[in-house]
Every structure is written in structure tokens, then in C-alpha cells.
A and B are shown apart, each in its own frame.
Chain A
Amino acid sequence: MNAVEPRDLSLVVWFDGDCGFCRRVASWLQTQETLVPVQLVAAQRARDAGCPIDLASLLAQLTVTASDGAVYRGTNAWIVVLWALRSYRALALRFATPRWRPWAERLFGAIAGIASWTKRRAAR
């Protein structure tokens, strides 16, 4: 760990447990080596887990909460998750730069699109 971040920092990723694609991404995340503890919890369990954010807004956008109270949504959430992974921290730092940020928005927007599309398809 480093001096800037709290020593006991950990992240919780609230993914959509009703979406197969999201579960697949979540299980991939679990295979990755992390620099910061990352916990994956289905958004549907958020209330039981003591998360004060309501389910609808958790499902609207990928949400990551940090143990220090910070909440990240959408592209920010994706970048923070990548930052927590050893192999992807460099990529996260790049995505956060003004030059790459628009591409990150597009990429994670597209991934969110895939997620909601597969969910709608499954619901039919």
C-alpha cells in the first residue's frame, strides 16, 4: 500500500445480480490479483449489506463504494475498479487522463449497453 490512501482501504462493487453478463464480469474480476481488497456484492443484496444507496440507482449505473465513504458511479466506478487490479492500474491511470477519458466513457458506456441489452433480452 502507499502513503496517500488509507491503509485499510477496501472497495465494494455493487453489480446487478440479475444480469448474466454482469455476473460473468464479476467472476472475472474475482480471478484478478488486487492491490486493494475488492468485494463483489449483488446490488439486490445492498440493503441487507447496509448500503444506503437505493437499488434503482445502483442498477442504473455501476456503483463502487470505498471504505472511506467515497462513492463512484459509471465510468468513475470502472476506473476505480481497474485501479484496484494489479495488472490494470496503469490502464486506469491512463483512462483518467483528460486525453483518454472520452474513450473510457465510450468503452464503459458500450459495456453498460451490452449489460442492459442482455438483461432485456433475457427478460423477454
Chain B
Amino acid sequence: MEPTLITYLLYVLISVALTVWVGRTLHKNGRAFLIDVFADRADLADSVNHLLVVGFYLVNFGYMSLALKLATVVTTATTAVEALSYKVGLVLVVLGGMHFFNLFVFSRIRRHKVVYDAPRPVAPDMMLPPLPAAGPRAG
């Protein structure tokens, strides 16, 4: 096999392994977050979690395959390692970016719920016996 093809194969192997590892981590640890957000709906949490991970895989595998082609000709083991390292580095950076983006999405979803569920943020200035409802018309 020519060196370029070996480099490509190694690149695909490493990138797929990394993507699957990050995707599984996200899937496993994102679930707890989402279960908290969709309090009584574990099915909904699992569904959102799954959809997020599918998007994550699509973006990463898409990028991986777009970035496959080497600009230089690989002849020696040294150039192969250099080329491989460069490509895998790019994949890692994209994975990192996507990972933080996912965390951002999770925390946004959660913050939204925290705000929505918040009780009155200030203490009353005084307490009266519970009032009868006022008339239906605004004055």
C-alpha cells in the first residue's frame, strides 16, 4: 500500500474513534442534565438527547470526510506522521468546539427552566390575611 493511503486509513480510524468517544460521553452525561430539565418526561429527555447526539455525529463525520484530502504528498514515515497529526489536530479542535457548543445548548435549556420555575424573588414587605379577589374589571 502506498504511504498516502495508509495515512488516510489511520486518519479515518483515529478520527472515527475520537468522534465516537466524545459522542458517547455526551450522550451518557447529557442525559442527567436533560432529565432534570424535562422533570417528569424521561422519554422526552432521551429523545432530545438522541437528536443532539445525531447532529453532533453528522457535523463531525461531515467535517472529517471534507478534511480528508492531504495537500502534500506523503513519501516517508516522518511526513506521514506530520500530515496525520495536522489532520487529527483539526478534527480534535472541531470536536472540542462542538462539545462546548453542546454544553452551551444544555446549559441554556436548563437555565431557561430555572428562570421559568423561579419563585417570587423578593420577600413581601408585609403580610395580610389572604385577600378576596378584586373585581373582574381593571379600573
**Contact A83-B130, Cβ < 8 Å, known A17-B139, A39-B138, A41-B135:** no
Instruction: Determine which of A26, A67, A79 lies in contact with B122 in the assembled complex, contact meaning CB atoms within 8 Å.
Output: A79
Q: Is residue A10 within 8 Å, beta carbon to beta carbon, of the partner chain?
A: yes
Check: A40 CB closer than 8 A to any chain B CB: yes
Task: Fill in one digit per residue for B117-129: 1 if any A CB lies within 8 Å of its CB, else 0.
Answer: 1111111111111
In contact, A44 and B118 (Cβ under 8 angstroms): no
Q: How far is the CB of B21 from chain A (nearest CB, A)?
A: 36
Q: Given the complex, which residues of A lie within 8 Å of B121, measured CB to CB?
A: 79, 83, 92-93, 95-96
Q: Does B115 contact A (CB under 8 A)?
A: yes
Number of A-B contacts (CB under 8 A): 91
Residue pair B122, A2 in contact (C-beta under 8 Å): no
Question: Shortest beta-carbon distance, B79 to chain A, in Å?
Answer: 54
Cα–Cα distance between A23 and B135 once the two chains are bound (Å): 17
Task: Report B's interface with A, CB cutoff 8 A.
Answer: 115-135, 138-139
* Interface contacts beyond A67-B131, A93-B118: sample of 7 additional A-B pairs, CB < 8 Å, sorted by A: A12-B131, A15-B139, A45-B135, A53-B128, A71-B128, A76-B123, A93-B121
Listed in ascending order, the chain A residues whose CB lies under 8 Å from chain B are 2-5, 10, 12, 15, 17, 26, 30, 35, 39-42, 44-45, 48-53, 65-74, 76, 79-80, 83, 89-90, 92-93, 95-96
